[in-house]
A and B are shown apart, each in its own frame.
Chain A
């Protein structure tokens, strides 16, 4: 499964996201939809993100992202610990100038907290 984390550089052998001013095409274009996996943590209901390699993080920035959300979800579901994540689902994310953000207000609020 190819993925990179939202903040870090792409892992070796994986795709990189083309920045708007990049001249060389890459495997993934800005038009390519990207996805991450989110869930609630069983113990306390905290919002968590699949961070790859069978780990979950409370930070959106640690999210593993990939163009194939279903495959990413399958990878998240396959690995231990099976108890940590409740109700995992795929969310769309966008990137602009290297910053990845969740798409839609609901996921923004989940990622960054209540607005009021």
Chain B
């Protein structure tokens, strides 16, 4: 993992001191709310329905044991004993007090974490593949490039006041586990015809009010040019992005209005004018960053390793099911990638208690190399578990209520906080997710891989547009209704789902989803996921199932 250097530490200490003084002046009445609001937002502190909400950046979703324990400490000392992992691999605490927030910031700084740039019109936390560095289909580990982008974008003076927020995701596998197409800039590490590794650069993706899939800005960008090219693209956005209308301010609208060809011309023209040398990624600093992500010292496969593991699979049905859904192939023989589900039935998706955070810290030391990854699907990945350790690892998780075997199934639902916490919400998400997850649990194995995503409003933090089944909360004269979409996808086949019909009441959601799943199960071909079936058969059978012939 990357460790802070002197610059990182100094800047963070300075920021804590500045923020502490700003809070003091606000509480003393020397700053008005109008003056203070942008300052607290710049430091990740929102005012929500019941309290302040503190959003903490988890760079590309990676956490060390010390950081996990610190999040547990924050949950215990400053919140109500739990936190919430978001769809951007961050953590949110929902019950924070303003007067304690500088202490939280100082505590976080002690483990090299912060909340800076988790709000505001700046470059946000760069997200990545939670299987980075261990996936067997990966071209190269994307994390060093995420870290390089983090360092470049943190307090970047030119990009602190963009027209709107800006999100970047990086992936290096054919299988997209980072929802790259729905980011302002998406980067895939790819190999060109000459065998060189570089980036395919996508631009202008995003969800929200106007869901748009990113388009290819450049098919192949040499690695050394990453920052200069990003800087050119951000400059074009900064200059031409709209500032007069918040709903049209994201880069996706600029790309849509210019067209991708004109956008490319503008970026290339800007890039041609720039001196690339200071940003070239071909120097000692970059090599030092890459060295932080060197593979750990994997043990050789023991001759009894597989026997231990096979015996457990044969004797424990629950473990066998967990192996089937929560464990993925690792590039290193003898190791596995294990995903801890934060979707036990009937609980808020992505929530985790202080005790569970402590347990994950301990397990990451015992069963790994002291690192976990938060996923944008609100689960936690252990990237390096020895296969022979999997039974013991599972037993430790299950004893703490973390042994749910549902990764990628219908009850592994993404949901935003919705109207239970969020000031912008139209409707609740969490109770809908809880009830739906419980309702579908009995049939989820029959249904197979399924992505259900729920947002409490059109801002789409729950990524509903790209759910195989998407559920969007809407308000009709003060009552909650839910608009359902079908056929969306966030992977490399990215697509926005089609609206099934008029919104349904909260009582009708389970039934409507059941009917959509019935159609899928009845009409799917071998190996087809729901979006593929939807593409093949079209929307009518789904509409008819929910609303009858029309």
Contact = CB atoms under 8 A, between A and B. Distances in A.
Contact of A109 (B51, B52, B98, B420): B420
Contact of A43 (B97, B420, B421, B431): B97
Contacts of A1: none
Contacts of A83: 27, 29
Interface string A38-53: 0010111111000000
Contacts of B479: 105
B478 A43 contact: no
B414 to A, nearest CB: 16
B97 A109 contact: no
B97 A44 contact: yes
A105 B419 CA distance: 8
Contacts of A116: 348, 420, 428, 430-431, 434
A87 B50 contact: no
Contact of B98 (A42, A47, A113): A42
B33 A44 contact: no
A45 B47 contact: yes
Given A104-B478, A106-B419, A109-B419, A114 B50 contact: yes
B512 interface: no
A115 interface: yes
Given A87-B47, A109-B420, A114-B50, A43 B99 contact: yes
B49 interface: yes
B96 interface: yes
Nearest to B421: A114
B430 A46 contact: no
Contacts of B29: 82-83
Nearest to A86: B33
Contacts, number: 64
B480 interface: yes
Chain B contact-residue range equals 20 to 34
Interface string B401-440: 0000000000000000001110001001011001000000
Which residue among A40, A47, A86 has the maximum number of chain B CB atoms within 10 Å of its CB? A40
A42 B431 CA distance: 29
B348 A42 contact: no
Chain A contact-residue range equals 20 to 34
Interface in B95-111: 96-99
B214 to A, nearest CB: 34
A101 interface: no
Contacts of B160: none
B25 to A, nearest CB: 12
B48 interface: yes
Interface in B49-107: 49-52, 96-99
Contacts of A28: none
B95 to A, nearest CB: 8
B420 A114 contact: yes
Contacts of B33: 42, 86-87
Contacts of B434: 116
Nearest to B427: A105
Contact of B50 (A43, A47, A82, A105): A47
Contacts of B99: 43-44
Contacts of A43: 27, 97-99
A43 B24 CA distance: 11
Interface of A: 40, 42-47, 82-83, 86-87, 103-106, 109-110, 113-116
24 contacts: A40-B47, A42-B33, A43-B97, A45-B51, A45-B96, A46-B50, A47-B49, A83-B27, A83-B29, A86-B33, A103-B478, A104-B478, A105-B478, A105-B479, A106-B49, A106-B425, A109-B49, A109-B419, A109-B428, A114-B50, A115-B430, A116-B348, A116-B420, A116-B434
Given A42-B26, A47-B50, 6 more contacts: A44-B97, A44-B98, A83-B27, A105-B480, A114-B430, A116-B431
